[in-house]
Chains A and B, each alone.
Chain A
């Protein structure tokens, strides 16, 4: 009985926090500043508690499983959510519905935890839906803005469609194997055409959630219209969670179909990198720009997944950890500027260095890390991704990816040029950085600078990796 509480500790803690917020909402009205202090404190506790009493285990008739890798992935997600919460302080402190925002946000996080721990397609589906439906509701959280409701509408319709595809695939897998448990599927899957078709539908469902290219059309619009806090959550946390599940599902459940999915994932990787990069070049809105850049980053991650070795899964988790820090550094600056001045286009950022040198440097370090420029951690992340992708000897794929890194350097540097070199008649006025966002920037910069050099992190992830 004690095991139950220890194995489920991260989910239970999150549920408790959600219920605390719910009772606070029902009870006496509380000032936004106090409420935000309390929530951020609870999230810090939640993050730290993830490190204590780690225990492997299987619960509920193999529906739920956990091990050291799963706990690490959940800790990464917890950390990312904490950083986003700290960064969105400037936006939330004047918002009317702070506790609802956090209730919905943490519900999606809970869904992702169950999804990562799932040992059964039913549990996986429930987790996936718990992590997408509330997300559509918080995409609408700039209640008065036209773009925000348009973004929420696009997100809910496209995610409903994608879960329809996913479910049709699941139903065919159930029909051909007679079970929805992961272990049973692996033993019964034989690779007949119907199962390959079912797998393609499943892949399409996953592709929607991680916004790989043929399924990416909702991404840019949803990212542009949602509040910045939600955009950063969508592009980092929700994408990371689905990627973790994607790796473990491909490497364990669909291992018998490895020959088929190798080509499909390679194709998705090439198209994602190329299209993401080419569209990122012509974007003017900063959030749209980061949307396409994140599509390209997913393409790089898919390159590593095709490697299907232990190095592949190590590189994915390692890169996602770095991606959390670097993308959130960039989004943090946008979040702060957007909350105080409401300006979001790249041309608004011309001459940004003259008025806001600190924020400019944070943004520059984040973008350099996303581009993969050496001393930053992003370089090491990309390096390991490409090494893992080369493991199968598919050098054409790796060459395309490496060439695309040069294109990506062009558009990241274009933004940095606008910030540091261009002049502007009406530059963004100096922005005061409150204490919480300052802390978040410190965490991000420390992560970007140190993770590449601290060998321990990579070794630890490698010791947990899966592959074949």
Chain B
């Protein structure tokens, strides 16, 4: 039944996590950075669901955790986009390199 081993899925989720991290560090557009954060959170979701299904099928803690992460990610994105809009009004740009009034 479980033809795909757990390690494959963990490999995918870990790769996704580091792709997200790479994107967050290299991208300069705030919306893209936000998308990278979503990648981080989704890799965690995959982890939770996979662990729940393969290792602990008796309870649903992992699935519940995933649902809460999805909800909170949506809330976080809403606030972040509101902040980015406000930043665009004052800076006329959503590039992080332009928002450097404060340094060191």
Contacts and interface: CB of A to CB of B under 8 A. Distances in A.
A4 interface: no
Interface stretch (A175-183, A360-368, A403-411, A437-445): A175-183
A368 B99 CA distance: 35
Interface stretch (A7-15, A42-50, A129-137, A454-462): A129-137
Given A122-B64, A146-B101, A160 B80 contact: yes
Interface string A407-423: 00000000000000000
A174 B44 contact: no
A391 to B, nearest CB: 36
Contacts of B103: 221
Given A125-B68, A146-B91, A157-B80, A171 B75 contact: no
Interface string B48-70: 10010001100001101100110
A268 interface: no
Interface in A158-204: 160-161, 164-165, 167-168, 170-172, 174-175, 178-180
A160 B37 contact: yes
Given A149-B83, A161-B24, A168 B44 contact: yes
Contacts of B1: none
Contact of B41 (A137, A150, A164, A224): A164
A144 interface: yes
A167 B90 contact: no
A38 B99 CA distance: 38
Contact of B86 (A140, A170, A171, A175): A140
A255 interface: no
Given A168-B43, A171-B51, A133 B62 contact: no
A160 B47 CA distance: 18
Contacts of B47: 168, 171-172, 175
B8 to A, nearest CB: 15
Contact of B87 (A134, A153, A220, A221): A153
A178 B11 CA distance: 19
A126 B82 CA distance: 21
B24 A133 contact: no
Chain A contact surface mostly: helix
B83 A140 contact: yes
Contacts of A178: 55-56
B33 A157 contact: yes
A147 B103 CA distance: 11
A156 interface: yes
Contact of A179 (B43, B61, B102): B61
Interface residues of B, number: 43
A156 B80 contact: yes
A150 B75 CA distance: 20
A447 B102 CA distance: 34
A160 B76 contact: yes
Nearest to B99: A150
B4 interface: no
Contacts of B90: 144-146, 149
A264 B104 CA distance: 26
Interface string B78-104: 011011101101110000100111111
B30 interface: yes
Contacts of A171: 44, 47-48, 51, 65
Contact of B65 (A129, A133, A136, A174): A174
A175 B47 CA distance: 8
A152 interface: yes
Nearest to A155: B83
A149 B93 CA distance: 12
B65 A153 contact: no
A225 B72 contact: no
A172 B41 CA distance: 13
Interface string B10-42: 000000010011001000001001100100110
Interface of B: 17, 20-21, 24, 30, 33-34, 37, 40-41, 43-44, 47-48, 51, 55-56, 61-62, 64-65, 68-69, 72, 75-76, 79-80, 82-84, 86-87, 89-91, 96, 99-104
Given A167-B44, A168-B43, A220-B104, 10 more contacts: A133-B76, A146-B91, A146-B101, A149-B90, A150-B99, A150-B100, A151-B102, A153-B96, A156-B80, A178-B56
30 contacts: A122-B64, A122-B65, A125-B65, A129-B72, A129-B75, A133-B76, A133-B79, A136-B80, A136-B83, A140-B86, A143-B86, A145-B90, A147-B101, A150-B87, A150-B101, A150-B102, A153-B30, A153-B99, A156-B80, A164-B37, A164-B44, A165-B40, A167-B44, A168-B43, A171-B65, A172-B47, A175-B55, A178-B56, A180-B65, A225-B101
